[in-house]
Amino acid sequence: MSRYIATRPSVAQGWRLERVTAPSRLFGANGLRTGPDGRIYVAQVTGSQISALDPVTGALETVAAKGGDIIAPDDVAFDSAGILYATEVMDGRVSVLDPSGQTRVLRDDLPSVNGITVHRDRLFVNECRDGGRLLELDRGGAVSQVLLDDLPSPNAMEVGPDGMLYFPLLSANEIWRIDPNGGEPQRVASDLGVPDAVKFDADGFLVSTQVATGQVLRIDPRSGMQQVLAQLTPGLDNLAFVGNRLFVSNFTGEITEILADGSTRALLPGGLNWPLDLAVGDDGRLYVADGTYLYVADDDGALQVAGMLFSPGYPGFLRGLAPCGAGQFVVTTSGGQISRYAPARAETEVLADGFDQLYGIAVDGDAVVVAELGAGRVLAVAAGTVEVLASGLLDPVGVAIAPDGGILVAESAAGRVVKVKGSAVHVVIDGLGCPQGIAVAGSSLYVVDAGAKEVVMFDLSTKARTAIATDLPVGAPPGVTPKPLKGLPPFSGPQGPFAGIAVAPDGTLYISADGDGSVLALR
């Protein structure tokens, strides 16, 4: 079962729809915690969702749904009464979900609050940012004590059998501990693979996921000696024990069990968080921007990592993607950068910076054209200069180059596509729900309408308009209004959906089915 229940897609006569990649079960996988019922509770930042996973059957149940009261949960913990506490990292909140399903905000002024643990019904949280704090909160949400401040990005933590509170520091690449009642902190381990979570096994050893290297380490908290339990793919986020069974999460949504002999098995397969923009490279292969990752799709639909957030030379949280020859792409990031990126060489050159919510990107001769949603503008960048081509647009998202050289722009909030040529802006097609990705092939304009859940083909010469695919798993599920994702500095700026589209040389249309986390092909 996928994360998105949709009606069966249909296509116009002469077209066929195929899946390139399988749907995702989750919106990534972040914080993990074993609940009082023995299930693994999975926080999903990009989906604003918490799910409970049965470690025996693999069955999933949504506990806090997308569009609900909990926004961008990054970690969870339980008290002795079975009450769930969640950190909402992008909104700086700690929320409470009681066993009856009622939600309330405990605290809403803790920037980048992330790590959370409950020990003997005492609640501890920390802020995953440079200069972050480690705090204890009482049941009313008041700060009982500030254990530490000015920390370099603390994250998922746990009290050990020695009664000390252990926490990783991402920016320092270290693990520390402190007495929960206060005192001087002590370094436990250093020179790791960027630790982002710690838990304890039954023998009192510290187990920690390493986001940059993909290692799962077992560390003796007394001596600091390390053992590699498993080597997985980078992007590990958290871990949980169910009895003696060890499970780890990955940004991709994969939940992996690490067996006693060091082998592994996937309890839940990974997949795409979104996906966002798509591009066919000069090598003829399909590239998929998924924010934290850039993937390249094999012929069988398997996704290979071309780059990721913690790998050298990665430009940042990727959104817009367009090929520019020689194994290179121009990209937009949620951090407001326009860059040229060569994944094979792990090199990025920033072309321009400081923009407000960049989305689509296209190459127009020597210039790069981008949509700046936050400012309602379309920009052209060439030779280090930035020119405003149009302003006053309503949430511009997708861009493409028209056959006559004009710039086509999807105004998602206006339900239309406009053409910018010179100083003139005129409507090409309107009456759409929420147009996002657009692409041009010959005289045909293709539009992904995330509102109507369609792909529309519009003939720029005859003005004929056809919905060539309908009931697609794009955009939010029916009846769901997602809450805005404010981003996670310094890793990401504001995050938002972008159902992209790309045209292959053979005429195949590739579509980002961001609703169910897959890529589709229309042929």
| Antiparallel, parallel or unpaired: β 416-421 and 424-429 | antiparallel
Cβ 64 vs Cβ 42: under 8 Å: no
Residue 2: per-residue pLDDT: 65
Count of alpha carbons within 13 Å of 331, Cβ hemisphere only? 33
Residue 299: pLDDT over 90? no
Q: Give the number of residues written for the chain.
A: 523
What are the sequence ranges of the domains in the chain? 10-20+272-483+496-522, 32-268
Residue 429: per-residue pLDDT: 98
Q: What is the mean pLDDT of residues 92-103?
A: 95
What is the rounded CA–CA span in Å between residue 27 and residue 109?
25
Residue 489: per-residue pLDDT: 83
- Mention the CATH class of domain 32-268: mainly beta
Which amino acid type is present at position 346? A
CA 117 to chain centre: 23
Which residues 6+ apart lie within 8 Å of 125 measured at CB? 87, 94, 110, 113, 114, 115, 116, 134, 135, 137
Q: What is the mean pLDDT of residues 342-350?
A: 97
Residue 347: pLDDT over 60? yes
Cβ 295 vs Cβ 306: under 8 Å: yes
Mean pLDDT estimate for the chain = 96
Listed residue (123, 150, 119) closest to 135, CA to CA: 123
Residue 1: pLDDT over 60? no
Q: pLDDT category, 479, cuts 50, 70, 90?
A: confident
Q: Percentage of the chain with pLDDT > 90?
A: 94
DSSP assignment, residue 336? S
What is the rounded CA–CA span in Å between residue 207 and residue 218?
5
Listed residue (37, 39, 67) closest to 55, CA to CA: 39
Residue 491: per-residue pLDDT: 85
Express each pLDDT in 211-264 by its tens digit. 999 999 999 999 999 999 999 999 999 999 999 999 999 999 999 999 999 899
Task: Answer positive or negative: Cα dihedral of 484, 472, 44, 66.
Answer: positive
Residue 179: per-residue pLDDT: 98
Residue 351: per-residue pLDDT: 97
Express each pLDDT in 124-180 by its tens digit. 999 999 999 999 999 999 999 999 999 999 999 999 999 999 999 999 999 999 999
Which residues 6+ apart lie within 8 Å of 53 measured at CB? 39, 40, 41, 42, 59, 60, 255, 267, 268
Express each pLDDT in 411-469 by its tens digit. 999 999 999 998 899 999 999 999 999 999 999 999 999 999 999 999 999 999 999 99
pTM across the whole model: 0.95
User: Does domain 10-20+272-483+496-522 bear CATH number 2.120.10.30?
Assistant: yes
